[in-house]
Amino acid sequence: MGYPIEMTGCKFIIKKEDFKNALEGLKSVFTPEIMPYKTYDNDGKECYYFSWVNTKTVLESTTLEEAMKKIRYTPIFNLNGDICKVEFTGESNGDDAVFFDALAPYVQAGSYLRFKGGYGEKWKWIFEDGEVEYTH
């Protein structure tokens, strides 16, 4: 259970030639120093994770499409093979800001993701100049 959200608008473009670097960028945030939560596996080994995301499946992803699905954003492709939008497949707010910070250098300027929360709060992530800005 978490804070329910829904995506209300999206323009999200990553060019096909940037997929490899975007995948590496996304995987790079899956480190204990960045991941906010800790648990223990069956052998008592520390395991770190993000909300609603299975770290192992993201790190084992061989394509950007596969990794994005694992972080709860299914990419939609245009005829050129570029990602032209994403569909949020989750239900609750998570650590998505970390993922989009990592992807921002590869997202085309002018892209955005718009959301509405369960209590009526609205926000938007806007991508410009290799960075993402969170606005209310």
Distance of CA 91 to the CA centre of its chain: 14
Q: Give the position of tokens 């995987």.
A: 27
| Neighbour count for residue 22 (Cβ, 10 Å) | 21
pLDDT at residue 94 above 90? no
Higher pLDDT, 118 or 84: 84
Amino acid identity, position 124: K
DSSP secondary structure letter of residue 107: B
Q: Give the up-direction half-sphere exposure of residue 67: CA atoms within 13 A in the CB hemisphere.
A: 25
pLDDT value of position 1: 54
Partners of residue 49 on adjacent β-strands: 37
Q: How many domains does the chain have?
A: 1
pLDDT tens figures, 33-57: 887 778 887 788 888 778 889 888 9
114 has which bridge partners?
9, 124
pLDDT of residue 51: 83
Q: Which domain holds residue 42?
A: 5-135
